[in-house]
């Protein structure tokens, strides 16, 4: 075990990160060889169960890697098993040199009972690959495939050829042949692994297409409903109707976001797998072979449109969400304007009522002054009559004249009294509001 040569504290992930560069080495492939490659879609629980099963198989001393490694290699009799665990799937690659001279001549190993394993998850990829020598020509090997989808490329700078039609055979396998001539076992293993990765990532990339097809009718229905709501919004001016339309828009936006969330991971994963397919084709350094179609050209007509469909549906989802948000903002703006108009009318009505109330208050105040003045004037007349009988008034001045002369003073006193009462009432009202 290597010991650190410095007293520095290492990052807890340093060893794992450095080991990742060497986590999936190429397995040498002698010629001839037949290979059966399986990929199983696994969730978290299935991945844990699958790891437990592979640990049981890995009890032999020939098993490479241990612990929580994502890659294991083991030899079980005449068979070699390469096991890899990925984020969404787990792969099993079985290979043997038994009965490998004639391509695809051996029956399905699962049915024949040669490979006994019960992996967790659901089968997503099953590929049968044969590595043969130069005994058979490219034309002879090509005759074993469907000419309508046959792809033949040169790899390893023309030292080997890869043939496949990406179609399922009678045993439900995708067939591939590598015609090796003069390449080393390690180089052959590298070509085999790249070819199987192309097949695996191709299928995983296409998983986004069913999701896109499922999402399209839902998007179409949402777009139709949005069009109806927008049309109704342009015609309706009733506040209650606008509130109902706003609720429908909010519900539609929630459904749109749920649909986008459901499909976002799948579409993103399809783009990532598509990029891996292109990367593996670049690593294979495919070269066109005679009149045959290359894998890149085949994918440009079959795989690339599927990925573009996923991208188009994802863009359609984003566009629908943006349209819904704009419609909701438009409705909220309209409702805000309507509320402001109602508030304006309410304030106008309150001002009008306040003016009427002030007028009424002035009328009442005037009547109150007149009534008080009339009452005080009566008291003044009574006092003036008593003063005349007592001889207190100047000579020649009658009680009626004295009462008439006191009228302005009586009116002024009445007005001052009512004004004081009003000021005291306003002061009390303000103090009550402060409290």
DSSP assignment of 45-60: HHHHHHHHHHHHHTTS
pTM, two decimal places: 0.74
Boundaries of domain holding 314: 219-345
212 occurs within a structural domain: no
| Residue 336 parent element (H or E) | helix 295-389
Q: What angle do CA 190, 138, 158 make, to 5 degrees?
A: 45
Q: Are residues 133 and 255 located together in one domain of the fold?
A: no
Is 207 within 8 Å of 269 (Cβ atoms)?
A: yes
293 occurs within a structural domain: yes
What pLDDT score was predicted for residue 187?
92
- Give the Cα separation of 214 and 211 in Å (integer): 5
Answer whether the bond into residue 361 is a cis peptide, omega within 30°.
no
Q: Are residues 155 and 264 located together in one domain of the fold?
A: no
Average pLDDT over residues 242-263: 85
- Give the Cα separation of 93 and 98 in Å (integer): 15
Q: Are residues 27 and 133 located together in one domain of the fold?
A: yes
Structurally, the chain folds into a number of domains equal to: 3
Q: Are residues 42 and 158 located together in one domain of the fold?
A: yes
400 occurs within a structural domain: yes
- Give the Cα separation of 75 and 81 in Å (integer): 6
Please state the φ and ψ torsions of residue 40, each to the nearest 5 degrees: -120, 125
- Give the Cα separation of 292 and 434 in Å (integer): 94
Q: Which of 206, 240, 271 is the last residue of a domain?
A: 206
pLDDT digits (tens, 9 = 90+) for 73-93: 888 888 888 999 998 999 999
Q: Are residues 318 and 420 located together in one domain of the fold?
A: no
211 occurs within a structural domain: no
What pLDDT score was predicted for residue 1?
47
- Give the Cα separation of 58 and 53 in Å (integer): 9
Q: Are residues 419 and 311 located together in one domain of the fold?
A: no
pLDDT digits (tens, 9 = 90+) for 323-345: 888 888 877 777 777 778 888 88
Query: Do the strands 174-180 and 122-132 form a parallel or antiparallel pair, or are they unpaired?
Result: parallel
Choice between 345 and 125, residue whose per-residue pLDDT is larger: 125
What pLDDT score was predicted for residue 66?
43
- Give the Cα separation of 347 and 341 in Å (integer): 10
How far the first Cα of the chain sits from its last, in Å, is 82
Q: What angle do CA 327, 328, 333 make, to 5 degrees?
A: 100
Confidence of residue 113 (pLDDT cuts 50, 70, 90): low
Q: Are residues 122 and 269 located together in one domain of the fold?
A: no
Average per-residue pLDDT for the chain: 84
Q: Are residues 48 and 163 located together in one domain of the fold?
A: yes
6 occurs within a structural domain: no
Query: Do the strands 160-168 and 89-96 form a parallel or antiparallel pair, or are they unpaired?
Result: unpaired
13 occurs within a structural domain: no
2 occurs within a structural domain: no
Nearest-CA neighbor of 214 among 254, 263, 171, 249? 263
- Give the Cα separation of 236 and 80 in Å (integer): 73
Is 324 within 8 Å of 252 (Cβ atoms)?
A: yes
**Candidate from 13-27, 199-213, 298-312, 359-373 with smallest mean pLDDT:** 13-27
What three-state secondary structure class fits 154?
A: strand
DSSP assignment of 269-307: HHHHHHHHHHHHHHHHT-EE-TTSBPHHHHHHHHHHHHH
Choice between 124 and 245, residue whose per-residue pLDDT is larger: 124
Q: Are residues 46 and 110 located together in one domain of the fold?
A: yes
Q: Which of 173, 206, 239 is the last residue of a domain?
A: 206
Q: Are residues 328 and 374 located together in one domain of the fold?
A: no
- Give the Cα separation of 209 and 207 in Å (integer): 5
Average pLDDT over residues 212-223: 92
Q: Which of 312, 345, 378 is the last residue of a domain?
A: 345
- Strand order through the sheet with 71-76: 71-76, 79-85, 89-96, 33-41, 122-132, 174-180, 160-168, 151-155, 287-288
Q: Are residues 137 and 56 located together in one domain of the fold?
A: yes
What three-state secondary structure class fits 124?
A: strand
202 occurs within a structural domain: yes
Q: Are residues 250 and 386 located together in one domain of the fold?
A: no
């Amino acid at each position: 075990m290597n010991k650190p040569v410095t007293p520095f504290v290492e990052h807890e992930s340093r060893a794992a990160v450095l080991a990742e560069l060497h986590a999936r080495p190429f397995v040498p492939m002698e010629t001839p060889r037949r290979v059966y490659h399986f990929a199983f879609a696994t969730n978290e629980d299935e991945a844990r169960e699958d790891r437990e099963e592979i640990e049981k198989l890995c009890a032999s001393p020939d098993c490479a890697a241990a612990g929580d490694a994502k890659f294991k290699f083991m030899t079980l009799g005449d068979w070699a098993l390469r096991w890899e665990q990925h984020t969404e799937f787990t792969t099993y690659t079985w290979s043997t040199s038994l009965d490998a001279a004639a391509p695809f001549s051996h029956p399905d190993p699962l049915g024949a009972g040669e490979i006994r394993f019960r992996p967790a998850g659901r089968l997503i990829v099953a590929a049968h690959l044969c590595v043969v020598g130069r005994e058979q020509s490219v034309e002879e090997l090509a005759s074993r495939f469907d000419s309508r989808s046959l792809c033949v490329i040169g790899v390893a700078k023309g030292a080997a050829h890869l043939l496949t039609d990406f179609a399922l055979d009678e045993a439900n396998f995708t067939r591939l042949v590598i015609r090796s001539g003069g390449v080393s076992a390690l180089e052959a293993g590298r070509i085999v692994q790249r070819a199987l990765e192309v097949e695996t990532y191709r299928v995983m990339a296409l998983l986004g297409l069913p999701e896109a097809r499922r999402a399209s009718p839902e998007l179409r229905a949402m777009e139709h409903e949005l069009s109806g709501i927008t049309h109704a919004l342009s015609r309706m001016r009733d506040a209650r109707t606008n509130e109902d339309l706003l609720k429908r828009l909010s519900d539609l936006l929630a459904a749109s976001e749920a649909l986008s969330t459901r499909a976002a991971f799948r579409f993103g994963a399809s783009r990532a797998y598509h990029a891996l397919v292109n990367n593996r084709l670049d690593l294979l350094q495919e070269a066109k072979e005679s009149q045959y179609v290359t894998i890149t050209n085949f994918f440009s007509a079959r795989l690339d449109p599927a990925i573009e469909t996923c991208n188009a549906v994802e863009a359609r989802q984003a566009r629908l969400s943006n349209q819904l948000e704009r419609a909701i903002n438009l409705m909220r703006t309209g409702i805000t304007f309507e509320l402001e108009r109602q508030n304006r009318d309410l304030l106008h009505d309150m001002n009008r009522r306040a003016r009427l109330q002030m007028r009424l208050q002035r009328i009442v105040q005037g009547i109150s002054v007149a009534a008080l003045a009339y009452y005080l004037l009566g008291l003044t007349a009574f006092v003036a009559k008593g003063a005349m009988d007592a001889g207190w008034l100047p000579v020649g001045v009658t009680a009626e004249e004295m009462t008439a002369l006191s009228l302005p003073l009586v009116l002024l006193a009445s007005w001052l009294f009512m004004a004081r009462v009003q000021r005291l009432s306003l002061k009390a009202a303000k103090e009550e509001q402060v409290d």
